[in-house]
Chains A and B, each alone.
Chain A
Amino acid sequence: MPRHLDGNALAGVLSEVFTADVTAARARCGNCGNTAPVAEAMVYPDAPGLVARCVRCNHVLAVVVEAGDRLVLSLAGLDTLELRAPRA
């Protein structure tokens, strides 16, 4: 079977997009509604981009492609992404 990593594999590339640590955010799957920390998603790294899938239903939650001088991020498979404000 192809290997997959957990959602922490997204931390590096997403730190270029978000100021908060997205892997700690809670994501709601747009297909089955499963809500879990991004760090728990299944991330397939051996492809032309990173593909994060729902642990429950396998739906594509997020895709990240480093396309030459551009970064393309799709969150279309996510219903919501909940980021917690850092404690004061």
Chain B
Amino acid sequence: MSFTTRGFSGRRRQPETRLPPGQTLVEKWPVLSAGPTPVVDTADWELTIQDETGTDHRWNWDELIALGVEDITVDIHCVTHWSKLGMAWRGVSLDKLFEHVGSRHQYVMAHSHGGYTTNLPLEDLLGGKAWIAIEAEGRPLHPEHGGPARLLVPHLYFWKSAKWIRGLTMMPGNDPGFWERYGYHIHGDPWQEQRYR
């Protein structure tokens, strides 16, 4: 039995209906930075998920890759009103990482090299909706775009896709991250136009 029919896949959304409200299509990929670009070598790279017991679940670069790298094609939507459609990425699903983490907490703070933070409900990171991205458009992720690895959560505004990701910390409540403290929406769904709180 299949739920996918030829008719369904043939009715792909046209570009104009793939644009959330208030967004404009771009071809180039703008660089948005709130500070200098950290230099992170994959030889020293490590990702940590900290649960409520204080236990750190750690992966180095090779361990991350060994979890399985997927091809991902997604549209991205930046809160500064640009959208880029059909971007080709490669990365490791967060489902693979969270298989190894037992936590009762339902919220996550993402931490980046350089001090950036952003908050997300755990449910937005699971179910094939989020990745640790290591390649974009056929190349290793450039440091200006968050390389060697960034969070990729394409169904939310792109500020949630934290560049230079270094860790995730489980939280009992939905505490605000960097931009969320300064007026941006706590969740950031582009289809609901959740730009500001």
**Interface residues in chain A, defined as those with a beta carbon under 8 Å from any beta carbon in chain B:** 1-2, 4, 44, 46-49, 51, 53, 58, 60, 63, 65, 67-68, 70, 72, 74
Contact = CB atoms under 8 A, between A and B. Distances in A.
A70 B115 contact: no
Interface in B177-197: 179, 181-184, 195-197
A2 B181 CA distance: 23
Given A47-B32, A48-B159, A68-B196, A2 B144 contact: yes
Nearest to A66: B183
Nearest to A67: B183
Interface string B8-36: 00000000000000000000001111111
A51 B35 contact: yes
Nearest to B37: A1
Contacts of A1: 36-37, 144
B184 A65 contact: yes
Given A48-B80, A48-B159, A60-B115, A65 B183 contact: yes
B184 A48 contact: yes
B108 interface: no
Contact of B197 (A53, A67, A74): A67
B179 A48 contact: yes
B79 interface: yes
**At the interface, is chain B mostly helix, strand, loop or mixed?**
loop
A53 B35 contact: yes
A1 B144 CA distance: 7
Interface of B: 30-37, 79-80, 115, 144, 159, 179, 181-184, 195-197
Contacts of B79: 48
A60 to B, nearest CB: 7
Given A2-B31, A48-B159, A65 B36 contact: no
Contacts of B159: 48
Contacts of B144: 1-2
B34 A47 contact: yes
B34 A67 contact: no
A73 to B, nearest CB: 9
A49 B36 contact: no
A78 to B, nearest CB: 15
B37 A51 contact: no
A46 B33 contact: yes
A2 B179 CA distance: 18
